[in-house]
Structure 1
Amino acid sequence: MALALFDLDNTLLDGDSDYEWGNFLVSKKLVDADEYEKANTYFYEQYKQGTLDIVEFSAFSFKPLSLISREELNNLHQEFMQTYILPRIKPQTPTVLNKHKNQGDTLVIITATNSFITRPIATHLGIEHLIATEPKIIDGKYTTEIEGIPCFQEGKVTRLNDWLKMNNDSMEGSYFYSDSINDLPLLEIVDTPIVVDPDERLREVGTKREWEITSFK
């Protein structure tokens, strides 16, 4: 039994759940369309270039969570799942997940996107374990701050090591599937790095290092 780690956005999904959540909020007229679309695109381009300031982005992306009740947020997420997420699950995603489940591996989604957005997606995919960026909660309400270390770039390695200690698990035989150059620190420490529908920079690195490059589309 081994650890099978999966990035979520643009790896298991054909798209970015954080970015699509922003589009969903715009479609529901819950945020100012022009302002939000501009900022959402700005941060997403930074992410793709590997230059995202995760603290600045989180303050932006958590703000709607802090202004809407938890009950309404949960109702909104159900609609978001049906209309934005389920159509974006890549065709090969269930096959790969089932392969690892049948091998008895421990499946973990490890993602920079916050847990409010990603927990229901992990549940739908049948993955119990989620390591995600956590919004700080005070008096039962989301804030615009991050709780602990963001699950991004080198932070993914730190958060994973904390998870391994907590669960008395190890990296022996581990896999990690990702599309993004942002995940290079974690790809470099697993036993089997697998590059999935990669961005240009990760494809170049994966090719040079002779990592497996595949597509879930």
Structure 2
Amino acid sequence: MDMKTRAAFFDMDKTLVRVNTGRLYASWRFSRGETRLRDLLRVSWWSLQYTLGVVDADAVSRYAARALAGLEERAFADECRAWYASAVRPHVTGRARSEVERRHRDGYVVAILTGSSPYVAGPLADELGIDHVISSRLVVNDGCFTGDVEALCYGPGKVTRALEWSALHGIDLAASAFYTDSLSDLPMLERVGEPRIVNPDPRLRALAKSRGWPIEIWT
């Protein structure tokens, strides 16, 4: 098989990065006096719901998108790059770096596949030398966010986005790998030939053990 038809997909939160970046961003803004305590607590609650597998991802995404309504896309992208450099980079694990490098050496096309936005995942991809980011998309009009979500890359939506991207790049999902920590990514795990379980939440850990999927802890 042509090596170029294989891809290695990496989730971002608690996989490439050892923490939940949404909560990290909320904490960063709170430390700068830009948000209130209740905003930080709300994000922390969503993070817990995500870990427990009960989060309403559509509702959370819509809420986050509305908070950006009217903001210039360029300004938000600049802020995310600054935030990444100061707050996220220390949480990128050494194992994540080495595994991305290994997949590149082995001829895989490497992509970040995340429910987050390209503004968050982009700086991470740049640092790790990952050329492709498959993520949720926000609607932008005349250079500003409208407050709407164009496409949510979560759960079955990740499979939809991955299939669209794979068709464009000639990728065979059955010959590809996917690294993730969350049971919400089960639809994608079941579409690839090599499911890789990293820092799993409790439900994914139990499922991985029952299916004989290897479990890795990246710290």
User: What is the CA–CA distance in structure 1 between the aligned matches of 2:154 and 2:109, rounded to whole Å?
Assistant: 21
* Residue identity in the other structure for 2:146: T
Q: What is the number of equivalent residue pairs in this alignment?
A: 215
Amino acid at match of 1:212: P
C-alpha contact 2:74 2:143 (8 A) present in aligned 1: no
Q: Which of 4, 29, 45 is 2:48 aligned to?
A: 45
1:164 paired with 2:171, answer: no
Deviates more, 1:62-71 or 1:175-184: 62-71
Find the partner of 2:9 among 5, 8, 12.
5
Counterpart contact for 2:9–2:113, Cα < 8 Å: yes
Equivalent residue number for residue 176 of structure 1: 178
Normalising by structure 1, what TM-score? 0.92
Residue 52 and residue 62 in structure 1: after superposition, are their counterparts in 2 closer, same or farther (change >3 A)?
same
2:199 to 197, 200, 205: 197
* Alignment partner, residue 77 of structure 2: 74
What residue in structure 1 maps to residue 93 of structure 2?
Answer: 90
Do residues 28 (structure 1) and 24 (structure 2) align? no
For the Cα contact (< 8 Å) 1:58–1:144, is it kept in 2? no
Within the candidate set 93, 117, 121, 2:120 is matched to 117
Percentage of matched positions with identical amino acids? 27
Contact 2:176 2:192 in 1 (8 A): yes
Segment of structure 1 superposing worse, 47-56 or 172-181: 47-56
Shift of 1:159: 0.9
Q: Could you give the per-residue CA deviations for residues 38-79 of structure 1, whole angstroms, max 9, x where no partner exists?
A: 211121122112222222111222244335433432332232
Q: Secondary structure at the match of 2:87?
A: helix
CA distance in 2: counterparts of 1:61 and 1:125, whole angstroms: 26
Alpha-carbon distance in structure 1 between the residues aligned to 2:150 and 2:168? 17
- Given that 1:55 and 1:146 are in contact with CA atoms closer than 8 Å, whether structure 2 keeps it comes out as no
Q: Note the aligned Cα RMSD (angstroms).
A: 1.5
Residue 58 of structure 1 aligns to a residue whose secondary structure is helix
For 1:146-161, list aligned pairs within 5 A: 146-148=149-151, 150-161=152-163
**Alpha-carbon distance in structure 1 between the residues aligned to 2:70 and 2:31:** 17
Structure 1: how far apart are the matches of 2:217 and 2:101? 16
Matched residue of 1:130: which SS? strand
**Aligned equivalents of 1:172, 1:212: Cα separation in 2:** 18
- Cα offset for 1:7? 0.6
The 8 Å contact of residues 23 and 37 in structure 1, kept in 2 or not, is answered as yes
